Structure formats: structure tokens, C-alpha cells
Amino acid sequence: MNNDEIRKAVGSWLDDNWSADMSLVEWRDILVDGGWAAPHWPEEFFGRGFTQEQAALVSDVFTEKGAVGAAHAGPRRLAAETILAQGSDTQKKRYLRPILTGKEAWCQLFSEPGSGSDLAGASTKAELIDGRWIVNGQKVWTTSAHHADYGILLARTDWDLPKHQGLSYFLINMRQPGVEVRPLRQMNGHASFNEVFMTDAEVPSEDLIGGQGNGWAVAATTLSFERRGFALSRSAGEIKGAKVGRVYDEYEAELAVANEPYTWYPQRQGRVDLVVPRAIETGAIKDPQVRQEIARLISMSKGARLASAAAEQKRRAGTNEIIPAGSIGKLAASVIARQAAHVHTMITGADAMLSGPDSAAQGIIAETLISVPAISIAGGTDEIQRNIIAERVLGMPKELRSDTGPFRDIKRNTS
């Protein structure tokens, strides 16, 4: 189909089938049966084998018609793409449909208290006993675990192999007695993540994915989708037209749950947008030192944006050069956020001792000051990003390793 035919096909299908008066699950069942829930997936699994560009076209028509699409928010997308790429046909048949309809929510069980930057050092244990995998261990920084029905789990199945080779990847039911979810409170008071404790939790043998010992490769698939970003997440506000009807209400509620952990995310970026207005409002714009620091901040922020645009152009042009976009962008966000917090501090002065609705910018400044430390940790610390830049972009020699040989002999954290 060419682009016009695609637009026409999806448009007339929506005219025939879309109605805002259904329940969300009811509508999405129709959507999945119609083959428009995930058009970039293969035909045998709910899709049409479209390219990403064609799928984006479909998404545009949905927006124009005011129609709600498949469930996409949060970690469920990572689970879906991983299952699609590496799962068995049985797994695809069992799990993909409820992900698309939003009936089942997912979480990602990767990080552990003992292995943060060193993800492959995971020590959650999975043992095959009487045809079932028995899981023991603890995961952390698990977004939306308290809403999740299933989790994608990285666990160690062999302690005698080198660390990357002893890992396996599972699909685990979160609604079972052996799984306990506790909210993890952060220094800024929010609890956006959870700790997940697994005590003799069970996974049926068929819910191993990618084969025993291939967990690291499967996790790499998930991480590559994660890096491609959550750009998909949109709000019902972007859907055109009047949003009256049961589907919209339930969709808004679904998004509210999915987005709840992220309300403070703009603050961890430093709220660069508030710097100049607040400097003017408070009169700090007259302070020569504040002016210097604002100028530095604007320069960094513009430099980062321009460098990222230049890298994107090079990538599109298909150069052989190594393009230092991802890790540099991540590192840049940290540097910019810290500088913004520094300037906010200068501008706000002693009032920065306060927090809450009575404090500067209705508490936004206070929340910024105590949220910025997250930006240089989440998604790979600044230090790890610098290693990646140095080794992969600049080609500097690799760090000497002290984690080779059987995993059980490697020094690790003791709790």
C-alpha cells in the first residue's frame, strides 16, 4: 500500500468501527482484531508488517479522528517489543494481545540493590525445581510495579559460568504470594519506583524467554528499545476533537496511572525555562555574577541542542563516523541541570531554604533543587556515560576487568 492508500484504509476502518461510547478494553479488542493496534508488527501477530513511517501515518490518522490507540504507556512497550523479538510463538500468543488492549500491565525487573551500573552482575537466583523456576532475590527502581500484572525479569540461572553467560530472562506473574512490592521513597519525597522482593516466587518453565543462559542478549534487546525512548507516550489532550465518552475517561485514567511517577521529571532537568523569568521577577538579573551564570547556562543549553541536531543530521546522512550523540546528550542533560540548579540557588537566595506551596514558584524551585541529583544517575550515571564516550567514541583503551571467570568467584556486594 502507498501512503494515501494507508491513510484511506485506516480512515474508513475508523469511520466504521470507532466509537467513544465503548469501554476501553472493548474498543481495543476491536482495534486488535481489526489489525490496527500495532501495524508495524508482523501479520501473524496482530500487525500488518508496516514500516515505522507507515505506522506513524496510521497514528496520525488516529489523532485526526480522535480515536484512542493501543495501550503504550510505561514499561509494557518494552515487554511487548522484547517478546515479539525473542519470544516463542506460544509466548507471543499468550502475552501480546493483553498488552495491546491494556488489560495487563507490565514492569521491568532488571536493577538490583547489588547491581546498578553493573547490570550483568545481577544475583537474583532462578532454579529449575520440579519443572518450575523458583525465584529468590530483590529488584529495585521498578517503575509501576504496584500496578503491574507481569514483569520482565533478569535472573541468574548458573553461578559457575562467567557473569554475562549465567543469566536468563523470564516473564513473571507479579500477582502471586512470592512477590512483594514496596514503594521506594526518594530524597525528594516522591515514590516513583518500587522495590520488589521475590521469595520462592514461581515461573512456569515455558515462561523462560530466549533460552537458558541467553538472558543478557535478550536484556540487550529490551535496553535498545528503552534507549529509543518513550517518545510514543502522548496524552489524550493531543487527540483532536471533543473528548466525551467512556473510552476517553478510561484512557485518561490509564494515562494518569502511567504518568504519575513522572510529575517531578521536569524538575530533575533543572527547569531552565524558569531561570530568566525568575531572574527578572526577583531583580537578580541586575547581579553581574548571576548574569554570568545565566549566560553560561544559555550557552550550554543552546550548544547541547545544536550539537544534538548536528549529530542527528550526520546520522541521517549515513556517515561512517562514530556519532557521539546518545551518551553526550545524557551527560549534557546532567551538566545543564546542575548549572540551572546553581543559578536558581543564586536567584532565590535564603528563600531557597523553604519548600512547598509557599516557597519560590509554588514549590517548583525547591523540588528542582532536590530532584536534580537524579538526572546524573538515572538511566546510567554520568561516570558510566563518560566511560562509554571515552571508549566507544574516542577509542580509549578499555578498563582492565576484574570480573572474569565463574560468577560465584567474583567479588560482589554482601547485604
Task: Give the binding site for other proteins (CB under 8 A).
Answer: 285, 288, 291-292, 294-296, 298-300, 302-304, 306-307, 309-311, 313, 324, 328, 331-332, 335, 383, 385-387, 389-391, 393-400
**Closest CB 226 distance from other proteins, rounded Å:** 22
Of 12 and 292, the one with the shorter C-beta distance to other proteins is 292
**Closest CB 279 distance from other proteins, rounded Å:** 10
Name beta bridge partners: 179: 198
Instruction: Give ∠ CA 112-116-122 in degrees, rounded to 5.
Output: 50
How many alpha carbons fall within 13 Å on the CB side of residue 209? 31
Picking from 125, 144, 123, 146, the residue whose alpha carbon sits closest to that of residue 134 is 125
298: which residues sit within 8 A by CB, 6+ positions away?
A: none
Of 217 and 323, the one with the shorter C-beta distance to other proteins is 323
**Closest CB 281 distance from other proteins, rounded Å:** 13
**Closest CB 324 distance from other proteins, rounded Å:** 6
**Closest CB 349 distance from other proteins, rounded Å:** 19
Of 175 and 398, the one with the shorter C-beta distance to other proteins is 398
**Closest CB 339 distance from other proteins, rounded Å:** 12
Extract the C-alpha cell encoding 233.
507516550
Of 99 and 294, the one with the shorter C-beta distance to other proteins is 294
The number of beta carbons lying within 10 Å of the beta carbon of residue 61 is 18
Q: How far apart are alpha carbons 212 and 210 in whole angstroms?
A: 7
Of 184 and 298, the one with the shorter C-beta distance to other proteins is 298
**Closest CB 285 distance from other proteins, rounded Å:** 7
Phi first, then psi, for residue 133 (nearest 5°) are -85, 125
Of 273 and 409, the one with the shorter C-beta distance to other proteins is 273
**Closest CB 258 distance from other proteins, rounded Å:** 32
Of 223 and 389, the one with the shorter C-beta distance to other proteins is 389
Of 184 and 276, the one with the shorter C-beta distance to other proteins is 276
**Closest CB 282 distance from other proteins, rounded Å:** 15
Of 200 and 383, the one with the shorter C-beta distance to other proteins is 383
**Closest CB 229 distance from other proteins, rounded Å:** 20
Of 300 and 370, the one with the shorter C-beta distance to other proteins is 300
